[in-house]
């Protein structure tokens, strides 16, 4: 086994264990912390794939900004006492897990078979040659994908206005 | 590592997210599971981007992250306001549109 494979299995196992921990912990704080572990492991996988910029953005935006939002909301609502009655009944849970296993089998089958058309040798050659730097991504982002980039700024503006309206209506209602 | 192993890992992570949405009733944890699914899609994007030798997939990942950030901000604001009205964020109890 070469080092890349060892790292792939390590990061993959950590991200899977973290993801299972997210859905199995009772307390939302533990779920949030497990989610951070999963995000870090996925950043490691991105580094293995040669996507260093995406890995950095993953750590800064996801593990940094978004998870801090989650933790702040959990802290604000003080959910620890409420979450105990948050689970569904055993029969429904078993049904959901069976459906999930079916979905996993389908997903693995598709992932293992659908992309097997191109010969592996040429695919491996392509993976060795590609080296996506921040420069490459920036060039694509501001030339080919300029319109989607600007639309993204509109989405962020809409989210900003939406949050302000939501909070404002509440403070008026309290008055 | 081959493209298939990354895609299989991505499919497994996505499935865990789906199962989490199905079995958990806490709105915040359902949100975290949606983030898990978005991340699984990101992993598939980056893996296919490397396999094709093109950087477009990584640009899409950046768009997905921007949309996810907006979605989390709005969603958590909604959860906070629902909690202020109902004193609960159990999605089974929040089942009517009436405020």
Question: Which residues of B are less than 8 Å from A129 in CB distance?
Answer: 53
Looking at the fold, whether A82 and A70 belong to one and the same domain comes out as: yes
- Spell out the domain ranges in chain B: 3-86
In this structure, is residue A158 part of a structural domain? yes
Count of CB atoms situated within 10 Å of the CB of A115:
16
Question: How many whole angstroms from its chain centre is CA B70?
Answer: 12
The CA distance from A125 to A117, in Å, is 15
Tell me the percentage of chain B whose pLDDT exceeds 90: 53
pLDDT value, residue A44: 93
Instruction: Say yes or no for a CB contact (<8 Å) between A82 and B80.
Output: no
Give the structural domain span for A50: 1-86
Confidence category of residue A91, pLDDT binned at 50, 70, 90:
confident
The CATH number of B3-86, from 3.40.50.300, 1.10.287.3510, 3.40.190.290, 3.90.1150.10, is 1.10.287.3510
Domain total of chain A: 3
Looking at the fold, whether A13 and A45 belong to one and the same domain comes out as: yes
Specify whether the CB–CB gap between A107 and B41 falls below 8 A: no
The DSSP code for B92 is T
Report how far apart, in Å, the C-alpha atoms of A175 and of each of A108, A125, A169, B73, B82 are.
Answer: 54, 66, 10, 24, 18
The CA distance from B55 to A75, in Å, is 39
Q: Is the dihedral angle over the CA atoms A72, A78, A84, A89 positive or is it negative?
A: negative
> Of B1, B15, B84, which has the smallest distance from its Cβ to A104's Cβ?
B15
The CA distance from A39 to B13, in Å, is 11
Q: What's the mean pLDDT when you consider all of chain A?
A: 83
Instruction: Say yes or no for a CB contact (<8 Å) between B50 and A69.
Output: no
Instruction: Return the biggest CA–CA distance within chain A.
Output: 68
Looking at the fold, whether A29 and A68 belong to one and the same domain comes out as: yes
**A-contacting residues in B 19-78 (Cβ below 8 Å):** 19-20, 22-26, 28-29, 31-33, 35-36, 39, 42-43, 46-56, 58-59, 61-63, 65-74, 76-78
DSSP secondary structure, B26-92, as one string: BHHHHHHHHHHHHHHHHHHHHHHHHHHT-SHHHHHHHHHHHHHHHHHHHHHHHHHHHHHHHS--BTT
Count of CB atoms situated within 10 Å of the CB of A3:
8
Q: Which residue is closest to B41 within chain A, CA to CA?
A: A42
Instruction: Say yes or no for a CB contact (<8 Å) between B26 and A28.
Output: yes
Looking at the fold, whether A81 and A13 belong to one and the same domain comes out as: yes
pLDDT value, residue B55: 85
Looking at the fold, whether A82 and A123 belong to one and the same domain comes out as: no
pLDDT in tens, B8-42: 999 999 999 999 999 888 889 999 999 999 999 99
pLDDT value, residue A136: 86
The CA distance from A100 to A102, in Å, is 5
Q: What is the pTM of this model?
A: 0.87
> Of A23, A57, A132, which has the smallest distance from its Cβ to B24's Cβ?
A23
Looking at the fold, whether A48 and A105 belong to one and the same domain comes out as: no
pLDDT value, residue B70: 92
Residue B97 or B79, more confident: B79
pLDDT in tens, A105-142: 988 888 888 766 555 555 554 555 456 678 888 888 89
Confidence category of residue A94, pLDDT binned at 50, 70, 90:
confident
ipTM: 0.90
pLDDT in tens, A66-88: 999 999 888 888 766 555 555 56
């Amino acid at each position: 086994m070469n080092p890349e494979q060892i790292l792939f299995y390590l990061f993959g196992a950590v991200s899977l264990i973290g993801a299972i921990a997210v859905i199995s912990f009772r307390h939302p704080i533990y779920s949030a912390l497990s989610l951070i572990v999963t995000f870090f492991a996925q950043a490691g996988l991105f580094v293995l794939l040669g996507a260093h910029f995406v890995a950095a953005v993953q750590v800064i935006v996801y593990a940094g900004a978004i998870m801090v939002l989650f933790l702040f909301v959990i802290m604000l609502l003080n959910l620890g006492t409420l979450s105990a009655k948050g689970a569904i009944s055993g029969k429904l849970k078993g049904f959901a897990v069976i459906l999930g296993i079916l979905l996993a089998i389908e997903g693995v089958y598709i992932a293992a078979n659908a992309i097997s058309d191109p010969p592996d040798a040429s695919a491996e050659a392509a993976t060795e040659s590609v080296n996506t730097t921040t420069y490459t991504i920036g060039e694509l982002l501001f030339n080919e994908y300029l319109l989607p980039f600007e639309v993204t700024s509109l989405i962020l503006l809409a989210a900003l206005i939406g949050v302000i309206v939501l909070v404002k209506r509440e403070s008026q209602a309290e008055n | 590592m081959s493209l298939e192993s990354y895609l299989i890992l991505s499919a497994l992570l996505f499935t865990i997210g789906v199962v989490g949405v199905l079995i958990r009733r806490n709105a915040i944890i359902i949100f975290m599971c949606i983030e898990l699914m978005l991340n699984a899609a990101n992993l598939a994007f980056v893996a296919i981007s490397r396999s094709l030798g093109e950087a477009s997939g990584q640009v899409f990942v950046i768009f997905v992250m921007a949309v996810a950030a907006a979605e989390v901000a709005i969603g958590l604001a909604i959860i906070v306001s629902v909690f202020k009205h109902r004193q609960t964020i159990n999605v089974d109890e929040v089942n009517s549109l009436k405020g």
